[in-house]
Structures are given as C-alpha cells and as structure tokens.
Amino acid sequence: MTSQLDQLKACTTVVADTGDFKQLAQFTPQDATTNPSLILKAVQKPDYAPLLADTVAAHRGESLATIVDHVLVRFGLEILKVVPGRVSTEVDARLSFDTPATIERARRIIGLYEAAGIPRNRVLIKVAATWEGIQAARALEQEGIRCNLTLLFAFAQARACGDAKVQLISPFVGRIYDWYKKTAGAQWDEAANAGVNDPGVKSVARIYEYYKQHGVRTEVMGASFRNVGQILALAGCDLLTISPDLLVQLQAADGEAQPVVRRLVPATSVVAPEAPLSEAAFRYALNEDAMATEKLAEGIRLFAVDAGKLDALIEAQR
C-alpha cells in the first residue's frame, strides 16, 4: 500500500514537528522543528530525564539562559542524528521585541551547534515574526545564519519576511482556523470552511502564490495543523511541518484509495516584487488584522510561559 504520507512526500518536503526525537525514525521526515512547548513536553518524559540531567550537570556553573540553550541544542543534535536535513531551534520568545538580544542569542545557539560539528546549513534559528524579530533575522541571514520566522499569521508578516530575505517562514494554519471558528461561534459551518476553504489554508496559499509570482526565494512551511484535511489542502507547499499524531494518520491512510492531489503549484511567470514594507506600513497592516494581532500576542505569551517552565525545571537541577 502506498500511504498518503508517501504521496505527500512526492510533492512537499515533510517536516516532523516534535522534540521527541525517538519518534522520528518511523516517519522518515526530511527536517524537524521544535519550539519551547515541544521541548518542555519532551523533557518531562522519563525517557529524556537523563538527557536533561546530564546537560544541566555539565554546565552547572553557567547562566540559566546559557544552560537552556545547551538543552535546546542537545535535543537538536539528537534530532540531527535521525533527519538528513535541518532542525529548527527557537530563540526565547521573551526576546521577541528585542532585536539585539535576539541576534546575540541566535549567534550563541549556532555557535553551540558549530562547536558540536554541525554546519550552519543544517540549522534554522526560529524567531517570532514581530518587526523586531524580522530585523534580527535580516541581520542574521547576512551573517550566514539561516532563520525560520514563526508565529506568522498576517500577509504583512510574510511580505516583510520576504523583504528581509529570510530562509523560511512558518505560517500557522490551525491557530488561524481556531480564531475564525471561535469568532463565528454558533454560525460556524465546518463543512463550508474545510479543505481549500479553511481560513488558515487560504492564508498559506495566498502567501505561497505571492512568493512564487514575485520571485521571493523564502521557503513557505505550513505549520500548526488541526486535522489531515488542512495538510492535504496544502499539498505542494514547499514544506509542511506536521505533528506525530497527524503523521501517524497520514501513514495509515491508503493513498491508492484516497490519493493526494497537489493543490499548490509554482507560478509559470514571475513579476517584480512590490516595494518593501516600511516599519510604519507593517505595523499598521498588522494592527488592521485583528486575528493576526491577537494570535501573535497570544503565541508569544504561551511560548514565554513554557520557556519559564523550562527555566524552572533546569533551576531545580542546578
């Protein structure tokens, strides 16, 4: 049997969205992504307790922030033993509005990977797609440090990331879907808003089409999926980062009975990109998008909370 996962891999690079590297091999993804919440979830499992304890013990005399980065990189190193491509490691979300601090933290993370023998082209530094985060990524890209701009909900964020020539963006499908469903309340029609009509899917498709039509080289990686239907509606996207639960469903689904159809196709002709967004234009466009404004702020808060919980776990072992 050819699974839907096998068929999806024929038109899209499949990325595993997890910090649990012991799960990865069964899905043979090309890349893997992590975030503070996924790492926190992983370190609380008994299987990973020794890894956390060993890393903290090896760096006990260093600052808490430095030990955290060592833990993140340790997980990344284990993931890179399984995936042939890249791993995404996230800068502390509490630095989302501090460009210099984001740059400094990203340099330290990439330095830890390089000290372990990992070349820069196998690591993506994840940064929140705030204006400050995008400017940090612009500077990092010029140093050869590749970036993955996350918590991306608005078209303006995607435009600014393209202007900054970042390596990759991660527009969030599921969280956009969540917002529209909650806002609609009893008026929400699930069937009418499924598949290609899903608001999160439509957002990613719009960004993909704009990038391809305007020759923007930034990679588009759909993220934050709630169901397999959202994933299949974006078949053909540059990359899709998928949780283990949904990877299991795709792996079990018969692709011969329900074949995967490519939905996103690159433009056949390219036109010049639009003029770069100024900071004022970016902030105004983001302000006009209530969904994006709310979900960006919420996402930063949630990642910051989990970063604080990870800090506490490490502090308890110092």
What count of Cα atoms within 13 Å lies in the side-chain half-sphere of residue 268?
0
Give the integer Cα–Cα distance in Å for 129 and 225: 19
* Burial bucket for residue 30 (CB in 10 Å: 0-12, 13-18, 19+): middle
What tokens were used for 94?
């509490």
Position 1 scores a pLDDT of 84
Q: For 254, which DSSP code?
A: B
Measured CA to CA, the distance from residue 200 to residue 208 in angstroms comes to 13
Instruction: Name residue, tokens 């234009």.
Output: 281
β-bridge partners, 169: 149, 220
CA atoms within 13 A on the CB side of 29: 27
Task: Given the residues 9, 81, 126, 181, select the one marked as catalytic.
Answer: 126
Condensed to tens digits (0 to 9), the pLDDT of residues 177-227 reads 999 999 999 999 999 999 999 999 999 999 999 999 999 999 999 999 999
**How far apart are the C-alpha atoms of 200 and 293, rounded to whole Å?**
15
Residue of 241, 228, 233, 114 whose CA lies nearest to 171: 241
4-312 has CATH 3.20.20.70 classification:
yes
CA gap 89, 70 in Å, rounded:
11
Q: Which of 165, 176, 162, 277 is nearest to 213 (CA)?
A: 162
- The DSSP annotation for 13-33 comes to EEEEE-S-GGGGGGG--SEEE
Buried b (16+ CB within 10 A) or exposed e, 249-273: bbeebebeeeebeebbeeeeeeeee
pLDDT number for residue 267: 87
Question: How do beta strands 147-152 and 87-90 pair?
Answer: unpaired
Distance CA(201)–CA(282), nearest Å, equals 22
Return d(Cα 283, Cα 277) in angstroms, integer: 10
What separation in angstroms does the CA of 92 have from each of 24, 58, 101? 24, 21, 10
Position 272 scores a pLDDT of 86
The answer to whether 22 is a known catalytic residue is: no
Q: Hey, which residues does 124 pair with through a beta bridge? A: 88
- pLDDT by residue, tens only, the chain of 318 residues: 899 999 999 999 999 999 999 999 999 999 999 988 999 999 999 999 899 999 999 999 999 999 999 999 999 999 999 999 999 999 999 999 999 999 999 999 999 999 999 999 999 999 999 999 999 999 999 999 999 999 999 999 999 999 999 999 999 999 999 999 999 999 999 999 999 999 999 999 999 999 999 999 999 999 999 999 999 999 999 999 999 999 999 999 999 999 999 999 998 889 988 899 999 999 999 999 999 999 999 999 999 999 999 999 999 998
CA separation for the pair 58, 43 (Å, rounded): 16
